[in-house]
Amino acid sequence: MKNVLMLCIILSLTAGCSKTKAIQFCEGVSPEGKGVNCGTKFEDGELTAVINSEEPFGVKTITVQVFDTKNKKTEKIDTLTVDVKPDRQTASVNLAFYAGGTYLVRASKRETSIGSAEITIEER
């Protein structure tokens, strides 16, 4: 009986500690706000970045920065201001990638980082 109880405790802690990625790259968003066909490698074109915060945004806008990471250098190529609802924890923004390469996308609210993620774009 003790083993079963201990197993239940461990499983609940493990499930409670699983994290959602702060930024996911997807081909679209479902009506429920979930990413559709998400990944980290795509062909060039337009994608949707789904931004997940661990807590409500608490602000009306967040900043999304896109960096090109080639030759071990990081160069900012775009900065977007995204309108969000302060009581929500999820937002989405459309991004366009027409040149192959690896990109870093960072999301922040005021001076606080929400998260970042890398995406690889393959030219057609």
How far apart CA 103 and CA 91 sit, in angstroms, is 20
CA end-to-end span of the chain, whole Å? 59
CATH code of the domain occupying 20-122: 2.60.40.10
pLDDT tens for 35-87 read 899 999 998 889 999 999 999 999 999 999 999 998 888 999 999 999 999 99
pTM as predicted = 0.80
- Supply the DSSP string of 17-49, one letter for each residue: H----SEEEEEEE-TTS-EEEEESEEESEEEEE
Task: Give 15-33 pLDDT, tens digit per residue.
Answer: 334 456 899 999 999 888 7
Quick one: pLDDT at residue 115? 96
In DSSP terms, 65 is beta-bridged to 79, 106
Domain locations in the chain as residue ranges: 20-122
CB-CB contact of 53 with 22 (8 Å): yes
Instruction: Provide the residue count of the chain.
Output: 124
